[in-house]
Amino acid sequence: MKIVDLKCTVLGSNPVVRIVTDEGIDGFGQAESYKPYLVPHVNFYKEYILGEDPTNVERVMLRIRRLGSFKPWGSAVSAIEMALWDIAGKAANLPVYKLLGGKVRDKVLVYNGAVRFPMNGYTPQDYAENMAKMRDSKENFRIIKQGIAFHSPMPHRVPNFFYGDSYPDKARYPTRGLLTEQGLKHIIACVEAMKEVLGDSVGLALDCGPGWVLPDAVRLAKALEPYHIMWLEDMLTGDYVPYVLAEQYRELNHATSTPIHTGEQIYLRQNFKELVETNAVNIIGPDPADIGGIAELKWVAEYADLHGILMAPHGTGDGLIGLAALVQVCATLPQNYIAFEYPVGHPAWWHDIVDGLPDPIVKDSMIDVWDRPGLGLTFNVPEARKYLPEGDQHFFD
């Protein structure tokens, strides 16, 4: 079997990769919905993989892996890797999880991820009302994550929040600075309000940044110790930050009993090495659409398990193909697995153009691991063609 073409289009807002072979088997991968600009980046790799056997996934990846980078640029490499596993599974007539070592679990736990409700304000009452809506969602999530501080509009919606400059428009998290006492107390009050709604029956995780300075991160983590928060995510680095700062995370982590989490932006296992080996965090959250693919995520999960570090993979914008990749790989992870961040089809018509998902997808915060070959999803091509952008009408040919 040989790769004869690599194609990329944007369906809705998600870049979708298709690898075509000379034996009539093709594979699909998907990048986050926040990255519709990735098409030329995917096409860059075409010359490197044409003529290769796609079932030799690692061999193909050796040709392109070094040509990616931290979020967002590793997304193209990661989507190609997903598509390779999809082909390998279809060629073997096996689900991808079988090729990764087999299932550890028959169901995978997920948390709310892309299931969110709009907020009009950012007061404790607003957070409490929003948390009640998420708690009552039909998926019955056992863990709910909510954005606060620099991973929310707080810096430019809450007066006297911090001492730095706020950049709310067309910016990828450049806002950073020391909190005022009033700002820190506001965050704690919002967390208290959310915990009052959830009680001890639903876990609360907090997406915090990036943007915190280390002293404030320590203050918040220590202040929240009585509330048994699931984790504080991406306080020091995170979305679209092209470095790790493991030494600062280690100082934060060793100062508190509140679990510390990071990793969604990190590309490749080598860039998790210091975080893991120095126990700089308690939980890591690589995204299969950013780390370099699903096998790379599994490798990091196993290495983390050796060091007592837990796994809560990211995936909020990965779409339905990304969801399939997450289900397949998380079924195989060691017992350090907690839950992954649940992506949805966006726009809603994505659910009309993809076949193979359970209905409903999530039941009581769990997804049943399916057994269809490859990633287990197929396109309803006549329906999907309706949504192809101009100039991409031959994507499925």
Give CA–CA dist 330/240, Å, rounded. Answer: 24
The predicted structure's pLDDT at residue 34: 84
Distances (CA, A) of 38 to 41, 94, 290, 372: 5, 30, 12, 29
**pLDDT, tens only, 17-76:** 999 999 999 999 999 998 889 999 999 999 999 999 999 999 999 999 999 999 999 999
DSSP 69-135: -TTTTHHHHHHHHHHHHHHHHHHHTSBHHHHTT--S-SEEEEE-TT-----S--SHHHHHHHHHHHH
The predicted structure's pLDDT at residue 28: 98
Give the model's confidence band at 172: pLDDT under 50 very low, under 70 low, under 90 confident, else very high: confident
What is the residue extent of each domain of the chain?
3-94+380-385, 98-374
Q: How many angstroms from the chain centroid is the CA of residue 131?
A: 21
The predicted structure's pLDDT at residue 167: 85
Q: Please, which residues have CB within 8 angstroms of residue 335's CB and are 6 or more apart in sequence? A: 104, 305
Classify residue 33 by its DSSP letter.
T
Residue 171: is its pLDDT beyond 80?
A: no
Give the model's confidence band at 191: pLDDT under 50 very low, under 70 low, under 90 confident, else very high: very high
The predicted structure's pLDDT at residue 169: 72
Residue 379: is its pLDDT beyond 90?
A: yes
Residue 170: is its pLDDT beyond 80?
A: no
Give the model's confidence band at 311: pLDDT under 50 very low, under 70 low, under 90 confident, else very high: very high
ω into 72 cis (within 30 of 0): yes
Give CA–CA dist 329/96, Å, rounded. Answer: 8
For the whole prediction, is pTM greater than 0.75? Answer: yes
What value does the mean pLDDT take over residues 362-387? 98
**Burial bucket for residue 98 (CB in 10 Å: 0-12, 13-18, 19+):** middle
- 260-262 and 231-233 strand pairing: parallel
The predicted structure's pLDDT at residue 350: 97
What is the CATH code of the structural domain delimited by 98-374?
Answer: 3.20.20.120
ω into 168 cis (within 30 of 0): no
Mean pLDDT estimate for the chain: 97
**pLDDT, tens only, 97-137:** 999 999 999 999 999 999 999 999 999 999 999 999 999 99
The predicted structure's pLDDT at residue 15: 96
Please say whether the structural domain 3-94+380-385 has been given the CATH code 3.40.50.720.
no
Residue 168: is its pLDDT beyond 90?
A: no
